């Protein structure tokens, strides 16, 4: 049976089979959470929301300005509030910020209200994808590689802890990663408009 036919059969057999109200992407900066998430949301008929953009809209300030004025701790409070607000709803494809897994309450919430996908990226891919970034506050320093390595050391176990599924994005474009993830999710998540 083709993948499309298999997915259609699943939809017809049990239209409300989704394992969670929302699909949540976690992973480090430069894993492609936003670019992959947008593509996947389209495919699964979910509303795409980027948690950082939500924080910026609610606060009326950029992430950089928030870090500058209230520090990382102030940003984390706003991030946690955004996650709680967004995950109370359903039908979202939520791209979280790289540090969202640091809070235990955030991880519990993601696990309770989402099917969580960890988009893994190695240091080389991260550096390449982030080379033109001038906005992420944690990266505006000369020792980026060291910063990313240290963040990964602390966070990698947390991404794995919260994840229902892991996708390695190394060597993949956003379109390729979204395609691959779409296939892996097809037997767990009902799709809208599966082609005949």
Q: Which residues bind ligand S3P (CB under 6 A)?
A: 29, 33, 52, 63, 97-99, 136-138
Q: In the complex, what is the shortest distance from the CB of residue 148 to ligand S3P, in angstroms, rounded to a whole number?
A: 9
CB-nearer residue toward ligand S3P: 42 or 72: 72
CB-nearer residue toward ligand S3P: 99 or 182: 99
What are residue 25's phi and psi, to 5 degrees?
A: -105, 130
CB-nearer residue toward ligand S3P: 38 or 136: 136
Q: In the complex, what is the shortest distance from the CB of residue 63 to ligand S3P, in angstroms, rounded to a whole number?
A: 5
Q: Please give the residue whose beta carbon sits closest to ligand S3P in the complex.
A: 97
Are 32 and 174 within 8 A, CB to CB?
yes
Q: In the complex, what is the shortest distance from the CB of residue 144 to ligand S3P, in angstroms, rounded to a whole number?
A: 12
Apex 29 CA angle, 97 and 100, nearest 5? 25
Distances (CA, A) of 23 to 83, 84, 164, 171, 192: 13, 14, 10, 23, 15
Q: In the complex, what is the shortest distance from the CB of residue 196 to ligand S3P, in angstroms, rounded to a whole number?
A: 36
**H helices present in the chain, as ranges:** 3-13, 33-44, 51-59, 63-87, 104-113, 123-129, 144-162, 174-185
CB-nearer residue toward ligand S3P: 90 or 150: 150
Q: In the complex, what is the shortest distance from the CB of residue 66 to ligand S3P, in angstroms, rounded to a whole number?
A: 9
CB-nearer residue toward ligand S3P: 14 or 140: 140
What is d(CA 158, CA 99) in angstroms, rounded to the nearest whole number? 10
């Amino acid at each position: 049976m083709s993948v499309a036919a298999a997915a259609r059969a699943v939809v017809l057999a049990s239209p409300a089979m989704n394992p969670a109200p929302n699909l949540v992407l976690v992973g480090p900066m430069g894993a492609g959470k936003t670019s992959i998430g947008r593509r996947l949301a389209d495919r699964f008929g979910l509303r795409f929301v980027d948690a950082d953009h939500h924080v910026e809209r609610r606060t009326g300030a950029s992430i950089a300005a928030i870090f500058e004025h209230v520090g990382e701790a102030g940003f984390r409070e706003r991030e946690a509030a955004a996650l709680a607000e967004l995950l109370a709803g359903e039908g979202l494809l939520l791209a979280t910020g790289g540090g969202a897994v640091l809070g235990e309450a955030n991880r519990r919430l993601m696990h309770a209200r989402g099917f969580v996908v960890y988009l893994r990226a190695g240091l080389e891919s991260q550096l390449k994808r982030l080379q033109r970034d001038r906005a992420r506050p944690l990266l505006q320093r000369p020792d980026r590689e060291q910063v990313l390595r240290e963040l990964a050391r602390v966070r990698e176990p947390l991404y794995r802890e919260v994840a229902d599924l892991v996708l390695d994005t190394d060597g993949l474009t956003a379109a390729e990663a979204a395609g691959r993830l779409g296939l892996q999710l097809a037997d767990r998540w009902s799709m809208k408009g599966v082609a005949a």
